[in-house]
Structure 1
């Protein structure tokens, strides 16, 4: 059973969360986690000016996702940074190319889940995930969130991401804050949760 983790990460925050998601998936017997990046749309010169080249090089070993891979997976977990309360343009462009899958019903009945990051605590993590769900519903996917059985989202002792909609992290104003252990735990929980549901549906 294959769970595809498809993400975009400019500075590495979502990449780190994606790795934790994969760890969670692999906790389920028979579940295989595969990481994929969506294609970059910005030229190298722009990425360099934005200070993103180092993070991009760290992810170079992760293959670029193809639309066909989505259809071949048993479940898909998407990761995106927040751009004004919505998914990033790179992810939007990739999803806009999935019309062929939609016509064939290639994703109907498959679990779909989303995790995100934002710069600030109230920078749109929840709206990004919720607006992402619209695309998954059009594809006929079964939406899976992060249930409150993940106790970490009940904490009030620290500033943290994660909500019932999905795992999330806060990058901080200058991007120097990377996912906390609580946020990574939420990502692992989500990965395992999606894999368990995918396994049940596959059976």
Structure 2
């Protein structure tokens, strides 16, 4: 079967950058415990400080970076090079996350600037953007998941069954305990969870 040869005389411009294919992780994803990330809180806080974030916002930006890192780990986006020291690889990865969070913070900072007006009572606050609402919801969900992971296994099972709509009798039957005991233990598990979320 005859084939057609390309007879183009076009010369590629070397100054034009080549289109790159979408970046694919060269290394497999690695799941690390949240404690590995939390252990670097002081380093993250120092990095946020070095980026010049205002004192009143430093803690918020640092927490947002830590939560974003944990979300990325949960979604399989932490792919370190196995040949690099584990802590060095983690810190390099966290550096990128902190850098992006600081950049996002600076872009949103204009919303918090005070603008004097003649009649303050006539000014209505702007509603939060959808992306901010989504980020807040994801961060709250992650905080709950982390807190639940610190509870004993029995408490986790009770809260999970309650969350999907099982009644006390169903929970008691599934866990092999009297209903009165299930009520007490569920109340205790909720109290522990509230305490962890307030920390």
TM bucket (normalised to shorter chain) is under 0.3
TM-score by length of 1: 0.21
Indicate the structure whose relative CO is greater, using CA pairs within 8 Å and at least 6 residues apart. 1
More strand by share: 1
TM-score by length of 2: 0.22
More helix by share: 2
Larger Rg: 2
